[in-house]
Structure 1
């Protein structure tokens, strides 16, 4: 692996050929994205269990750093719906300070992933897992918004999914009809707006209209019970001050699982967002640079009171659709949000909570991937099982458990498939040949001397196959004089495979059976040499093609049969 750091922020290369035309395009896109991000940042902050101000701070800091240091030209960073569940859970268990520490630790993990060039990690996350926890998060977000949508009067909302719904059903008698009306009309406005104008975000339209209506109802008609942001939070419009994080080994051990979940979720969502953007723009992002930028954003964000940052697909697509060309658009989006925080923050106190609930319900619907879930029901049973287990664990327990168990199931499913498709065959008397890139052979048949057997391994010789090989050797009938292990179709061998091969060689020797290896490619040969198998067997018994191996085996078998008994 190349030791050189793969860190090439797209901003610096974009500025080399920057022009007034590009700036105007980025300016308009940045302003629009900033306006679109406003209601989402506030809603995600509140739903995560923090203040709306903290949601805005996250969008400002995250948006700036991701655009300044990132490996994508159009990526927009900030808080996203995917983190609501995990952030809320961490706050419930460890408080705001615990969240800050977990977020900073996740930032360090993301930073290291970028430094060690693990940007392609997204390829190793099975699709059923991604869909499973995305749909599970969507269902959980929807569930968390029921109280505000209906304006329910509840002393406290239970933390777990099932208890929440039990409590909701017990409290539906306290529904506030004005809150419910505001929430439903907000959802309707968000759905209708794109049909009238693609440029104006439906969530912003809903918030402006419903805030005005709620204000008039409360202050001019005396309607009570419509809860607003100002009834629940105090928004400080000043710049946030940095605060230190008190980290020790005890907190690291407690928060490492949560930090790992934040890092993995951040990596998956950011790189998915950048990949989707590449498909639209025809550009190609640098995934390692993007992970370093995401890591830096998540280290800095909690210092100023922010929550986890990641690439936001919806805001990134808004940036592209409105003409954003370079990372300058993302920086302008962060500046727009900063100006709103400094000069317009008091106005946000009048936004009805039911309206924000409507915004998040639409977000959860868009996240649900229900059409994809429906289409995946036609896939193999193993994929369906991974999807539903991940989804159910996300909803019933938490995202950390869901990702861990989902990955474990996916790995076990993969191993089973590889094991089923890897074959070990035994050949005697004659050997059919076919040309391949490892062994240059003709279409002739090679004759095997009596007492010579060939065992061909078709597939990787790793821990999942090693036991299968061992079992195959145990059920063999007559003992041969020479065994040829044909490895032309073995792309790699791991330590378990080597260990089983050593056991096989030693047990064969005890039975006076000689072992020859054939078709060993350079990679496998290097592994055998490194692990001492070559020294155990002898270099003269390891061949790169079957012709040499059969010739050696036939001579050995003839000599052994000629020896007096």
Structure 2
């Protein structure tokens, strides 16, 4: 980026020179610049004044010198060391290494070649970083998506995977356009706690699986020893220096220890195979159209998988966005719509290269944020580092011990788990505690989407039930001899029966009844219908009904529910005392 800006500066300065000089043989019409009254300080040290050459004898030479000096200053500014950019680049490089075993493992789950899982991470990670809604999020091939597409590959073949990823990306872009991502705000906090706890357990199980299947006791001892060394180094290095991310130094240390002492360490090449890390242009993915017939039958096959893939991917990505928002204390909130579009664009391009698709990854995002990667440059660097590594440095990457990455991920799992949630049991409502446990359990045994949707539905039903029990009333007879029912609590679909039970219609002696909604709120059409029903029952028993303290939108809608806009009961209007709250319908808002 700096080189591109430098080139632009050269080009622009060149144009300025040409504008001052003019074409050959034509004398410039510009007046000569004034003589320099004092030498220009070009040195970084203001006390050192370089000796300036004598001013050029003509305008052309002076213009060339001036533009060259400007170009020199611009180049110095562009190439200045930027600590924040270097931090993002280093953290991105670390995450690139952490992406490798995950992408390889998810590729095996999906039933495709590991190299395609890695290129999926390269392409998706780059596009999501460029167009996503929150800098710092890392995206790539994911386990949630791999589980969804595995039956498609097993049943219909790998050729259906790319069009599925493309269609899922289109659905996600549409979700971003229609701002569907904003609904993630409705996910309650207990569901978020259950989600991160369940995810931490899933990631831990995934990392512990690397300790099984080792050839002998020496290999197991090496795996355990290097993992422990990694976790210790990750804690100690920040106490010594923070100039370089601890995870990067840790990987270098464990790799050197493994090679110097010739330890029987399991490497990335052992996991993915030599073919994945052979390097060179032969491993580049090929751009091609999906190799399936463009028919309605093909669409019926891939649409259910694509829709599920898009949904699961967006849920995990948007929850990651919320988590990163909470970790990065910069006063900014990520854009859910942009994140939907960024993930969609990434999945479309992933499908174009024949990849599996994916989404944001919480574990790798946490590694990135902990290392200081809070800008888009971190995600772009991750993608570039992984892509360049697969092309030019694949054999070296293949020699990295798997234990070093396992140790880093285990620490991430420990940081991901919301340990504070354990202290909440006994201090929060029992149903909220149950939701935390339930979401964690479903995340582990089923998948993320089912867990989050189930927890959200249970929370919504719990909230609706609690609110439905809040409706009550007090009765009095005012100075006019009217029976006044003062209502309290929200009136909506869940509380309509309790609302009706407040009125013993046949045992009201007064001829006129006032229903005062000053302490209540009317929220939906069910409430309006119930109000009309109660008023009709009172009228059938010879009572004259007055409705008081209704918001303007409720007054309008109650009138619209009757012919001519005039209901058979009296609605008292008081602009100063009538409450105003969010309309139950857009009719009043318009």
Give the TM-score of the pair, scaled to structure 1.
Answer: 0.73
Name the SS for the 1:145 alignment partner.
Answer: helix
More deviation in 239-248 or 391-400?
239-248
Counterpart for residue 466 of structure 1 = 496
Counterpart for residue 129 of structure 1 = 191
Q: Supply the distance in 2 between the matched residues of 1:291 and 1:21 (Cα, whole angstroms).
A: 35
Q: Select the residue among 476, 486, 499 that pairs with 1:456.
A: 486
* 1:451-505 C-alpha deviation (Å, 9 max, x unpaired): x322333233211111211233358743542332222344442121122223223
What are structure 2's unaligned runs of at least 5 residues? 1-7, 9-74, 293-297, 579-590
Give the superposed CA RMSD. 3.8
Q: Select the residue among 258, 261, 285 that pairs with 1:240.
A: 285
Q: Select the residue among 100, 113, 117 that pairs with 1:42.
A: 100
Q: How does 1:205-284 map to 2 (within 5 A)?
A: 205-211=249-255, 226=266, 228-230=268-270, 232-233=272-273, 234-235=275-276, 237=279, 238-244=283-289, 248-254=299-305, 256-277=307-328, 279=329, 281-284=330-333
Confirm or deny: 8 A CA contact 2:316 2:448 kept in the other structure.
Answer: no
Q: How does 1:128-527 map to 2 (within 5 A)?
A: 128-151=190-213, 176-197=217-238, 198-211=242-255, 226=266, 228-230=268-270, 232-233=272-273, 234-235=275-276, 237=279, 238-244=283-289, 248-254=299-305, 256-277=307-328, 279=329, 281-304=330-353, 305-310=355-360, 315=365, 318=368, 322=372, 327-375=376-424, 378-420=427-469, 422-430=470-478, 447-449=479-481, 452-473=482-503, 477-478=507-508, 480-527=510-557
Q: Supply the distance in 1 between the matched residues of 2:569 and 2:318 (Cα, whole angstroms).
A: 46
Q: Select the residue among 54, 66, 79 that pairs with 2:140.
A: 79
**Distance change >3 Å, CA 387–CA 477, structure 1 → 2:** farther
Confirm or deny: 8 A CA contact 1:151 1:179 kept in the other structure.
Answer: no
* 1:46-67 C-alpha deviation (Å, 9 max, x unpaired): 3324465445434432332233
**Distance change >3 Å, CA 194–CA 371, structure 1 → 2:** same
Confirm or deny: 8 A CA contact 1:109 1:263 kept in the other structure.
Answer: no
Q: Supply the distance in 2 between the matched residues of 1:367 and 1:316 (Cα, whole angstroms).
A: 8
More deviation in 102-111 or 340-349?
102-111
**Distance change >3 Å, CA 323–CA 537, structure 1 → 2:** closer
**Distance change >3 Å, CA 123–CA 76, structure 1 → 2:** closer
* 1:145-165 C-alpha deviation (Å, 9 max, x unpaired): 333213357xxxxxxxxxxxx
Q: Supply the distance in 1 between the matched residues of 2:244 and 2:316 (Cα, whole angstroms).
A: 29
More deviation in 327-336 or 397-406?
327-336
* 1:199-232 C-alpha deviation (Å, 9 max, x unpaired): 4445444544444555677xx68x5x94753454
Name the SS for the 2:101 alignment partner.
Answer: helix
**Distance change >3 Å, CA 480–CA 152, structure 1 → 2:** farther
Name the SS for the 1:460 alignment partner.
Answer: strand
Q: Supply the distance in 2 between the matched residues of 1:311 and 1:148 (Cα, whole angstroms).
A: 19
More deviation in 200-209 or 379-388?
200-209
Counterpart for residue 122 of structure 2 = 60
Q: Supply the distance in 2 between the matched residues of 1:199 and 1:100 (Cα, whole angstroms).
A: 41
Q: Select the residue among 44, 69, 78 that pairs with 2:131.
A: 69
- The alignment status of 1:117 with 2:179, answered yes or no, reads yes
Confirm or deny: 8 A CA contact 2:471 2:490 kept in the other structure.
Answer: no
Q: Supply the distance in 1 between the matched residues of 2:333 and 2:446 (Cα, whole angstroms).
A: 37
Confirm or deny: 8 A CA contact 2:485 2:516 kept in the other structure.
Answer: yes
Name the SS for the 2:203 alignment partner.
Answer: helix
Higher Rg: 2
Confirm or deny: 8 A CA contact 1:149 1:355 kept in the other structure.
Answer: no
> Between Structure 1 and Structure 2, how many residues are aligned?
482
Q: Supply the distance in 2 between the matched residues of 1:333 and 1:384 (Cα, whole angstroms).
A: 38
Confirm or deny: 8 A CA contact 1:520 1:544 kept in the other structure.
Answer: no
